[in-house]
Amino acid sequence: MDSDRQPGLLDLRSYLAPALETVPAPDGWWSGPRRWWAGALDAEGLALGSIGALVSALAALDSAQGDAASGSRVATSSALVAASFDSIRHLRVDGNSADIWAPMSGFRRTRDGWVRLHANYPHHAERLLAAMGMTSADQLDAALLERDALEIEDAVRSGGGVAAAVRTPDEWAATPMGLAAAGEPWVGLALDEAPSPRPLPHDGVGGLPLSGIRVLDLTRVIAGPSATRLLGALGADVLRVDPPQHPELLDAHLDTGFAKRSAVADLRNPEQAARVRTLAGEADVVLLGYRQASLARYGLDIDSLREAFPHLAVVALSAWGWTGPWADGRGFDSIVQAACGIAHLYGGLPAGTGASSTVPPGRAPSGPSTRDAAWRPGALPVQALDHATGMAVAASAVALLAVRSRGVTGSARLSLIATANELLRASVPDPSGGPVALVVETRHADSAYGRLDFVPPPLILDGTQLEYPHPSERYGSAPLGWSHRG
> What's the pLDDT score for residue 65?
82
Q: Are strands 188-193 and 163-165 parallel, antiparallel or unpaired?
A: unpaired
Residue 278 has pLDDT above 70, yes or no: yes
Quick one: average pLDDT of 266-287?
Answer: 96
pLDDT-derived band at 196, boundaries 50, 70, 90 = confident
Q: Which of helix, strand or coil describes residue 12?
A: helix
> What's the pLDDT score for residue 55?
96
In angstroms, the Cα distances linking 447 to 5, 257, 346, 452, 471 are 48, 11, 37, 7, 6
Encode pLDDT of 134-161 as tens digits. 888 899 999 999 999 999 999 999 999 9
Encode pLDDT of 200-221 as tens digits. 887 656 689 999 999 999 999 9
Residue 306 has pLDDT above 90, yes or no: yes
> What's the pLDDT score for residue 371?
57
CA separation for the pair 281, 321 (Å, rounded): 26
> What's the pLDDT score for residue 64?
86
* 3-state DSSP percent of the chain in helix, strand and coil, to 5: 35, 15, 50
Angle at which helices 43-64 and 78-85 cross, to 10°: 110
Q: Which of helix, strand or coil describes residue 114?
A: strand
Residue 6 has pLDDT above 80, yes or no: no
pLDDT-derived band at 1, boundaries 50, 70, 90 = very low
Residue 365 has pLDDT above 50, yes or no: no
Residues composing the chain: 486
Instruction: Give me the helices (H) in 346-462, please.
Output: 384-404, 416-425
Encode pLDDT of 163-183 as tens digits. 999 999 999 999 999 999 999
> What's the pLDDT score for residue 143?
93
Quick one: average pLDDT of 94-102?
Answer: 90
